[in-house]
Amino acid sequence: MTPASVLDYREAARRRLPRVLFDYIDGGSYAEETLAANVADIQKLRLRQRVLKDVSRLSTEVELFGQTLSMPVVLSPVGLSGMYARRGEAQAARAAKAAGVPFTLSTVGVCTAREVADAAGAPPWFQLYMTRDRGFMAETLARVAEVGCPVLVFTVDLAVPGTRYRDVRNGMVATTPAQRFSQAMDGLLHPAWLWDVHISGRPHTLGTVASASKDLKRLVEFWTWIGRNFDASITWDDIGWVREHWKGPIVIKGVLDVADAREAAAIGVEGLVVSNHGGRQLDGASSSIQALPGIADAVGDRLTVLMDGGVRSGLDVLKALASGARACLVGRAWAWSLGARGEAGVAHMLQIVRQELRVAMALTGCADIKSVGPDLLAE
Ligand SMILES: Cc1cc2nc3c(=O)[nH]c(=O)nc-3n(C[C@H](O)[C@H](O)[C@H](O)COP(=O)(O)O)c2cc1C
C-alpha cells in the first residue's frame, strides 16, 4: 500500500519496527491525555473556506533565523533515531535538506553532528539537554559550532523525565535477562529492521554523548549515564551560561505558559517552541495549540514563536500558523516515516505535508504564507 498520509506512515512504522521501538516513538507519558489533546485540539479548529481569490501562485517560503525555508516546517529533535533506520539521523537530514527545511539533531541521537552534516551536505540545528558536567556541555557546544550548526534548540521541559507506561511494560531499558530475551525475540520478528539497523546500522551509541566517558559501550549504559547526569537544578540564570558558550541564535523549547514566555523574551533569546514534548512529560498539561495564541500575543513581537505537538498534516501546519506560530516542528511524523522507509519515507512525508499545506492555503484564499493570520480560522 502506498502511504497517502502521515498516519499511514504511522501504520507502516508499526509493521516494520520492533514493538518496543514503535511504542517508544508513539507513546506519551502516564494516561497520554496531553498527547491525545495535542492532536484533538488541532482537529477541533475549523478553517474558513474562502473563494474567488487568485491563488494561482502560492508561496510557502518563510525566513527563520536568517535561513530561508521552503515551507514553515522543521524536523524536531527525536532521540535514538538511528535505531529506527540505519544511521537514521543522517538519512532524515538528507531528506530535510532536499526538501529545503531544517533538521534538528537531538543530544541523544545516534549520529554525531559531523556525521549528519557530512551526509546531508548541511549542518543540522542542534538540540541541547543540559547535563551537570559543564565541561562536557562546553565541549559539545564548541564541537557543534565547529560543524557549523546554525541554531541551538535548548530543551527545558525535561527537568525530570516523565514516565511512559508503554516503555515500562516493554522493558525499553532492558535490565533483566527476561526483558533482554523478549527484545531479542521482538527483533527476530522484524527481520527487515534487524538487517537494516541491528546488523548494518552500527555503532549503536549516542554519538554526541560518547565523548563524555570512555566507559560507555552499550545503549543502555548511555541511557543510564544521561539519566544520572541530567541537571534538574537549571534556572533562567543558566541561559546566560549557554549564551556565553554559543554565539548563534538560541531557541528555548518546551514553553507552555505565558509567564515563562515573558521570561524568555526578557532574557533575550531569539526564539521559543511552544511545546509539551509531544505529550511525553507533564500529562494533564495544556495542548500546545491551546497554549499557542496567548504566548504568541504576549511575546510574538519580541521573539520567534514556533510550536510543536500533534501536527500530522499540512492542514495542521496552517492551523498552527493561523494560531500564531511562525513555523511548526514535527516529531513523530518524521520518526514514523523514517522507521517505515528511511530517507525515502521522510522525503515522501515532507512532500505530502507540503502538498496538503498548499491545498489548504489555496482553499482558504491565502496565496502567501507570510500573510497567514487568525482570520483564517472560523470562530
Ligand atoms: C521518540 C521521541 C523522542 C524525542 N526525543 C526528543 C529529544 O531528544 N529532545 C527533544 O528536545 N525532544 C524530543 N522529543 C520531542 C519532540 O522534539 C517534539 O517536541 C514532539 O515530538 C512534538 O510532538 P509530535 O510528535 O506530536 O510532533 C521526542 C519525541 C519523540 C516522539
Q: What is the pTM of this model?
A: 0.98
Task: Evaluate whether residue 104 is within a structural domain.
Answer: yes
> Which residue's alpha carbon is nearest to atom 16 within ligand 1?
331
Task: Evaluate whether residue 373 is within a structural domain.
Answer: no
Pocket residue to mutate for ligand 1, from 20, 23, 34, 78, most atoms within 8 A of Cβ? 78
Q: Is 78 in the pocket of ligand 1 (CB under 6 A)?
A: yes
Cell of 305: 514563536
Task: Evaluate whether residue 61 is within a structural domain.
Answer: yes
Burial of 262 (0-12, 13-18, 19+ CB in 10 A): middle
Task: Evaluate whether residue 190 is within a structural domain.
Answer: yes
Domain, as residue range, for 216 = 6-365
Task: Using the structure block, give the residue that is written with the C-alpha cell 541551538.
Answer: 152
Task: Evaluate whether residue 113 is within a structural domain.
Answer: yes
Task: Evaluate whether residue 378 is within a structural domain.
Answer: no
CA atoms within 13 A on the CB side of 369: 27
Into how many domains does the chain fold? 1
| Per-residue confidence in pLDDT tens, the chain, 379 aa | 899 999 999 999 999 999 999 999 999 999 999 999 999 999 999 999 999 999 999 999 999 999 999 999 999 999 999 999 999 999 999 999 999 999 999 999 999 999 999 999 999 999 999 999 999 999 999 999 999 999 999 999 999 999 999 999 998 887 788 988 999 999 999 999 999 999 999 999 999 999 887 788 888 888 888 888 889 999 999 999 999 999 999 999 999 999 999 999 999 999 999 999 999 999 999 999 999 999 999 999 999 999 999 999 999 999 999 999 999 999 999 999 999 999 999 999 999 999 999 999 999 999 999 999 999 999 8
Q: Is 339 in the pocket of ligand 1 (CB under 6 A)?
A: no
Task: Evaluate whether residue 273 is within a structural domain.
Answer: yes
Q: Is 300 in the pocket of ligand 1 (CB under 6 A)?
A: no
Task: Evaluate whether residue 372 is within a structural domain.
Answer: no
b/e per residue 39-71 (b: at least 16 CB within 10 A): bebbeebebeeeeeeebeeeebebebbebebeb
Q: Is 336 in the pocket of ligand 1 (CB under 6 A)?
A: no
pLDDT at residue 214, as a whole number = 79
In terms of C-beta distances under 8 Å and separation of at least 24 residues, what long-range contacts does 258-266 make, across chains too? 258/294, 258/295, 258/298, 261/295, 261/298, 261/299, 261/305, 262/298, 262/299, 263/236, 264/299, 264/303, 265/298, 265/299, 265/302, 265/303
pLDDT at residue 211, as a whole number = 85
Does 198 participate in catalysis according to the annotation?
Answer: no
pLDDT at residue 33, as a whole number = 98
> Residue 241 belongs to a domain with what CATH number?
3.20.20.70
pLDDT at residue 215, as a whole number = 82
Candidates 198, 204, 245, 277; catalytic one = 277
Helix axes 258-267, 288-299, angle to 10 degrees: 40
Pairing status of strand 304-308 against strand 327-330: parallel
Q: Which atom of ligand 1 is found nearest the CA of 106?
A: 8
